Each structure stands twice: as C-alpha cells, then as structure tokens.
Chains A and B, each alone.
Chain A
Amino acid sequence: MLARRIIPCLDVRDGKVVKGVQFRNHEIIGDIVPLAQKYAEAGADELVFYDITASSDGRVVDKSWVSRIAEVIDIPFCVAGGIKSEADAKEILMMGADKISINSPALRDPTLISRLADHFGQQCVVVGIDSFYDKETGQYQVYQFTGDETRTQKTSWTTFDWIEKVVSLGAGEIVLNCMNQDGVRQGYDIEQLKQARAACNVPLIASGGAGAIEHFSDVYQQADVDGALAASVFHKGVIPIHELKAYLKSQNIEVRPC
C-alpha cells in the first residue's frame, strides 16, 4: 500500500533554516545539513526546502547547499524557490534534488510547467500554490511573491482554477499552502483541501496549520491528501515523527515505519 507522506518543510534564507508566522518575522532555526540529516533519520518520508528569498528579490542565489543535502540524506527531497527556467531546474536536479517546485514563475509564465515536464518528466515538477481565503469575496485566491511581505500580491487566479490549469500543463504534484493557517497551528484547512482534492488527480500535499498530532489524521482522513507538510511542530520538537507515525498507524492510516 502506498504510504501517506510526512514532509518536514525547511524554509531557507541565506543558507539557514528559518520560520516565520504567516510568512513574516523569520527567525533562524539552524543549519540546513544537520537538520536535513536529523529528519531523514527520524523517519521523515521526504523533505521540502523552500528558498524563500529567491523568488522575491531577483538576485542569483547560492544553491550549493542542495548538493550538501544530497550527499547526506537517503530520502527524497524537493527544492523550491527561484526556479524560473529549464536551466535553473537542471542545475538543482544535477546537484541531487529529486524534485523542483515552482510557484511565482509559473504564474508569470504557465508554459514553464509544460517545458519542465517535457524536459525532466512530470514526476519531478511540483507546483506550489499560496492560497489565501478572502473573507469579503468568499473566494480562495492565489498569491505570489509571498517570500517578501512588501511584494506579496494577489493574482487574478482563484485557487481551484489555477489547480486545474497547472495539472493540465503537466504538474506532477501540488503543494497547497493555505496562508490563513500558516504558522498558527490551528489545523490544516480541511475545507479548502477537500475542494483542491476534487479539482486534481495528481498527488496533493497539504501545507499550513499543523499544530497537533490529530491535525495530521484529520487531513489524511477528511481531505484524502497524499502528504502533509509541516515546519514549526517538527522544528520545535512539538511532534516527534515516530510518535506521529505510531498514532497514524493506530488510526489505520498507512505510514512507512520509522
């Protein structure tokens, strides 16, 4: 049976792992390589590294940490942030990343998704979507440049229209960041994820809101997501991965043993 994935997410800024609340006020958590190694050994199924500076400030970013991670861990990992072209993607994949995730550049040029899928295969093209629930319009709306508060802007896409679009262009997986929930540990946005699940037939990863062990069983059982991504609960040791997996197994959720 295919296991549900537990995915610690490491936000990277200037080579350090950081974490903010609702995408703001980043504090340094630690060095990338030892943290990556720690999670791989603890039983994480996959890791995601978001270079949160990359897309928003347009400079050339040092990505040598990608190959340092590939050297030490024996589980898959995905790199997000600043990948704007086939050449950028190739560089990251050559350094040993298994997947690349694109977000703002896909919004600027949606054909990038098809070009990457054609070159590297659909399976390594992940599209990250930052979605914010607008209480006034009652719509889930896609945002871009969320790594930098001063440049964050709403796009013309509603979240579910954009999901359908990226899947039609060849996205192999979707990570849906529910921005209202990010960093506040009140649980995943089950309603939004349920609708996203219905809108796509590729793997869907929930992101934003994990605060307690039950939030994971809720999102697998109620929104049928393939994986759940979380940061602070893992970084701060609130939820040890082996306890999380033991709990999920007791709830009859398929997980890979630690």
Chain B
Amino acid sequence: MTNCKNVIVDTGCANLSSVKFAIERLGFSATITDDIEQIEAADKVIFPGVGSAKHAMANIIEKDLVETLQNLTQPVLGFCLGMQLMTQSSTEGINSTEGTEDIIIDCLGMIPTKVKSLDAQGNRLPHMGWNTLTTVNEHPVLKGINIDDYFYFVHSYAAPISEYTLASCEYGSKFSAIIGKDNFIGCQFHPERSGALGSKIIKNFLEL
C-alpha cells in the first residue's frame, strides 16, 4: 500500500488535518495538496470540507481546480461539504446581522443531484450528532456497514433521496447519507469522526 498515492484536496477549508489523521490511524498515508498534477496522478482522491459552499467553491475556482476535479477517473470520496460540492448546486443560508438568507451556489456537478435545506419537520437544526442509517445499498465502500449503524452528522442542508442514494438517514424527513455515481462517492456525515464504523468506510475506500 505504500506505493498507493492518496491525495486530500486542499480546498482552502478547515478540517483537512483531521481527515489526514484518520487515514494515518488506519496505517495509510495521504498528501494534502492543491497541485493539479498531484491530484490527477493520485490513486485515490479525498475531498473533505467543512463550512460554507460559497467560500469553498470560490477557493476551488481561484485554485483553478474545477475541471481537474470534474474529470477525475480514479475513486473519489467526499466528506460532508465535500459531498455537497460534488452535486450540481447547493442551497446555503448566509448569516448576517439582518438574519439568514438562502442563496444557491453552483457546484461541481459530478453527481447530478441538488443539495437543499434539510426538511427537519420542526426538529432542531443543524442536524448535529450521531444518527442511524435507514437504508444501505450493496457497494464496495459500504462493506460491513448496516442499517442502524450510527454515524456523526453535522449539517443543515442535504441531498434528497434519488437514484444516486447509496445510503439514507432520517431526521424529520429522509435524505441521502451517502450518494455515488461512477467513481464519485460522497458521505453527508463525517467518517473521520464516526468511530470504528467511519474508519471502516475510509478503509474500504482506500482498499478499492
């Protein structure tokens, strides 16, 4: 596995190091980079993210990474905001002293679905904490993952259930916990902060 090049895309957002540490705890290594050549040459690409889609997309455009990321053919795994950025667009609330206003951010579009406000049906938002999967498809990355397994979620926006849903979760309404299309897979939750089961997903991915 030492010859296997794993890259974590530096989107200019925070939480890159926690993803790197999670990979290292499993005995693998990974390089954090925004270098186009290194990203293209990687065997596996991890696309993390925390925070606002507006800032992250602005960073990705500024780093000239849009086409590079869209054209990746090796396995790509997105976490949380990283997953949301793989979709066509993401709705996002912008806070100011005047209150919150929803805007739509164009994303990278590798997985043709759209991230919208989570319809929590009166439950508290953000959806924050450990929640269970309600459906789990057969998928190599989900080997050993079952319905009712707990993962750590922190979000207010979500991808709806669609043909790209690989696992679902419920919080007021059902939404996609994991989406995927071809070589692109995205988790709404944080596998790097989801204990042993989260590590299993990362390990499954790195061993693809």
Q: Are B152 and A76 in contact (CB under 8 A)?
A: yes
Bound together, the chains give a CA A74 to CA B177 distance in angstroms of 19
Across-interface contacts of A170 in B (CB, < 8 A): 95, 100
B128 x A94 contact (CB < 8 A): no
Q: Which residues of B contact A (CB under 8 A)?
A: 14-18, 21-22, 24-25, 50-52, 55, 81, 93-97, 99-100, 123-132, 150, 152, 154-156, 171, 190, 192-196, 198-199
Inter-chain contact count A-B, CB under 8 Å? 125
- From residue A102, how far is it (CB to closest CB) to chain B in Å? 15
Query: Would A202 and B96 count as touching, CB distance under 8 A?
Result: no
Instruction: Say whether A121 contacts B152, CB under 8 Å.
Output: no
Which single member of B93, B150, B193 contacts A76 (CB below 8 Å)? B193
User: Does A98 lie within 8 Å of B193, measured CB to CB?
Assistant: yes
Q: Decide yes or no whether A118 CB sits under 8 A from chain B.
A: yes
- Chain B residues within an 8 Å CB radius of A99: 154
**Closest residue on chain B to residue A255 by CB atoms:** B130
Enumerate 28 A-B pairs (CB-CB under 8 Å) in ascending A order: A2-B130, A2-B131, A3-B129, A4-B129, A5-B130, A45-B130, A74-B192, A74-B193, A75-B195, A76-B152, A76-B154, A94-B16, A94-B17, A99-B154, A114-B95, A118-B52, A118-B95, A122-B126, A122-B156, A124-B14, A124-B50, A124-B51, A169-B95, A172-B128, A201-B125, A203-B126, A204-B124, A256-B150
Instruction: Tell me, yes or no, whether A209 is within 8 Å of chain B by CB.
Output: no
Q: Is the CB of B131 within 8 A of A3?
A: yes
Bound CA–CA A228/B111 (angstroms): 38
Q: How far apart are the CA atoms of A68 and B118 in the complex, in Å?
A: 34
In the bound assembly, the distance between CA atoms of A34 and B95 in angstroms comes to 38
Given contacts A74-B193, A256-B150, 15 further A-B contacts (CB under 8 A): A3-B129, A3-B150, A5-B129, A71-B21, A71-B24, A75-B194, A99-B154, A111-B97, A118-B94, A119-B51, A124-B154, A173-B128, A202-B126, A204-B124, A226-B128
In the bound complex, residues from chain B placing their C-beta under 8 Å from that of A162 are none
User: Is A74 within 8 A of B14, CB to CB?
Assistant: no
State the A residues within 8 Å of B (CB): 1-5, 40, 45-46, 67, 70-72, 74-76, 90, 93-96, 98-99, 111, 114, 117-124, 168-170, 172-173, 201-204, 226-227, 256-257
With contacts A76-B190, A118-B52, A122-B93 known, is A93 near B154, CB below 8 A? no
Q: Tell me whether A93 and B15 are in contact (CB under 8 A).
A: yes
- Interchain CB contact under 8 A, B95 and A122: yes
Q: B128 contacts A120, CB within 8 Å?
A: no
Are B15 and A74 within 8 A (Cβ)?
Answer: no
Tell me which of A70, A74, A96, A121 contacts B51 (CB under 8 A): A121
Give the chain B neighbours of A256 by CB distance below 8 A: 130, 150
CA–CA, A257 to B150, complex, Å?
A: 9
Q: Report chain A residues within 8 Å CB of B195.
A: 40, 74-75
Q: Could you tell me the distance between the alpha carbons of A106 and B24 in the complex, rounded to whole angstroms?
A: 36
- Bound together, the chains give a CA A227 to CA B152 distance in angstroms of 14
From B18, B95, B123, B130, give the contact of A3 (CB < 8 A).
Answer: B130
Residues of A within 8 A of B81 (CB): 121
* Shortest Cβ gap from A186 to chain B (Å): 27
Most buried by A among B18, B132, B150: B18
Give the complex CA separation of A201 and B195 in angstroms: 27
A2 touches B198 (CB 8 A): no
A173 / chain B contacts, CB cutoff of 8 Å: 126, 128
Report the separation of the CA atoms of residues A96 and B8 in the bound assembly, to the nearest whole angstrom.
Answer: 14
Nearest CB of chain B from residue A205's CB, rounded to whole Å: 10
* Contact of A120 with B51 at beta-carbon distance under 8 Å, contacts A76-B154, A76-B193 already known: yes
Question: Which residue of chain A lies nearest to B150 when distances are taken between CB atoms in the complex?
Answer: A256
B90 CB, min distance to chain A CBs, angstroms: 12
Say yes or no: B55 contacts A96, CB within 8 Å: no
> Cβ of A121 and Cβ of B171 under 8 Å apart?
no
